[in-house]
Structure 1
Amino acid sequence: MLLTISGLPGSGTTTVSRLLSEKHGLEMISAGEVFRSLAKEYDMTLAEFGELAESDDSIDLKIDERQKEIANTRDNIILEGRLAGHMAEKALKVWIKASVDVRVGRIVARESGSFEYKLSETIEREASESVRYKTIYDIDINDLSVYDIVIDSEKWDQFQITDIISCAIDNNSYF
């Protein structure tokens, strides 16, 4: 089984992926964690690293090629990342959404800092990623047509979302 979980920062993708991983015994591969660890290795903020990635396609390509390779060679995994649904051919593809204000509130709770600063950083990061995805892959991140399930994390908490996706997993013979 291959499951992809995608969404913008703060939407709940990592939390839901971890819960699904535990519930179904699936390994979780997170593009966001790879990106954050690379930013730390470069001793940069996410915004700074995003700027670098805008001028150096190899950063996104490394992360995304790794996800493609994993998706095509391994079973029983969850690929969690913004483009995971585009990187896997045969998978149950999920997009988790929430408004920018709710997402930034979650980011502030997770990382601390002021709401205004994190809002500005999030908007800048998303704009940077949008440009890179369009330039590198010709992917419009706002086009959700590749996803089997689009779910709003403002309406359901992480446990309810996990249950909804689990129902789809249990009743889907596609993968």
Structure 2
Amino acid sequence: MLLTISGLPGSGTTTVSRIISERYGLEMISAGEVFRSLAKEYEMDLAEFGALAESDDSIDLKIDERQKEIANTRDNIILEGRLAGHMAKKALKIWVKAPVDERVRRIVGRESGSFDDRLEETVGREASEATRYSTIYDIDISDLSVYDLVIDSLKWDQFQIADIISCAIDNYSDN
């Protein structure tokens, strides 16, 4: 089985992916973790690294090509990342959403900093990513029509969302 879990920063995709990974024994591949580790390697914060990625398509292409290759050559994995649903041809595709204020509150909780600073960073990062995705792949990140299931993480906690996804997995047919 190939599962993609996508969403904007702070929506809960990584947390839910880890729960599902453990529940089903699936390997998890996270584009966000790759992006964050690359930012650290370049000794930049996420906003700076996002700005660099805007001028250097090779950064996104490296991350996305790796996900595409994994999606097309392996089974029993979760691809977690903003474009994962677009990178995998045959998969159960899930989008986890939440309002920006809630997502920023979660980001502050895990990374610290002030709400206002994180809000500005998050809005800037999302605008940067939307521009890159549109320019590089002609993808409108706000178009959720490629997803089989869209879940609002403001309405349910991570375990309830994992239960909803489990129901979808247990009843999924890729015919």
TM-score of Structure 1 vs Structure 2, range by shorter chain: over 0.9
For residue 26 of structure 2, what is the aligned residue in structure 1?
26
Alignment partners' CA distance in 1, 2:147 and 2:2: 13
Alignment partners' CA distance in 2, 1:143 and 1:121: 22
How far does the alpha carbon of each residue in 1:86-123 deviate from its partner, in whole angstroms, 9 at most, with x for none? 00000000000000000000000000000000000000
**Matching residue's letter, 2:125:** R
Q: Work out whether 1:81 is the aligned partner of 2:81.
A: yes
**Matching residue's letter, 1:44:** M
Structure 1 segments, 4+ long, off by >2 Å, are none
Question: How does the TM-score come out when normalised to structure 2?
Answer: 0.99
**Matching residue's letter, 1:12:** G
How far does the alpha carbon of each residue in 1:29-67 deviate from its partner, in whole angstroms, 9 at most, with x for none? 000000000000000000000000000000000000000
Q: Work out whether 1:118 is the aligned partner of 2:118.
A: yes
Match of 2:10, SS state, is coil
Q: Work out whether 1:153 is the aligned partner of 2:153.
A: yes
Question: How does the TM-score come out when normalised to structure 1?
Answer: 0.99
**Matching residue's letter, 2:164:** I
Match of 1:109, SS state, is helix
Match of 1:72, SS state, is helix
Alignment partners' CA distance in 2, 1:75 and 1:97: 26
Unpaired stretches in structure 1, ≥5 consecutive residues: none
Shift of 1:174: 1.4
How far does the alpha carbon of each residue in 1:132-156 deviate from its partner, in whole angstroms, 9 at most, with x for none? 0000000000000000000000000
Q: Work out whether 1:109 is the aligned partner of 2:109.
A: yes
Alignment partners' CA distance in 2, 1:169 and 1:97: 19
For residue 174 of structure 1, what is the aligned residue in structure 2?
174
Match of 1:43, SS state, is coil
Aligned CA RMSD, in angstroms, stands at: 0.6
Unpaired stretches in structure 2, ≥5 consecutive residues: none
Alignment partners' CA distance in 1, 2:155 and 2:165: 14
Alignment partners' CA distance in 2, 1:171 and 1:82: 24
Q: Number of aligned residue pairs: give it.
A: 175
For residue 35 of structure 1, what is the aligned residue in structure 2?
35
Match of 2:173, SS state, is coil
Shift of 1:5: 0.2
For residue 133 of structure 1, what is the aligned residue in structure 2?
133
Superposed, 1:2-81 pairs within 5 Å as 2-81=2-81
Alignment partners' CA distance in 1, 2:172 and 2:38: 35
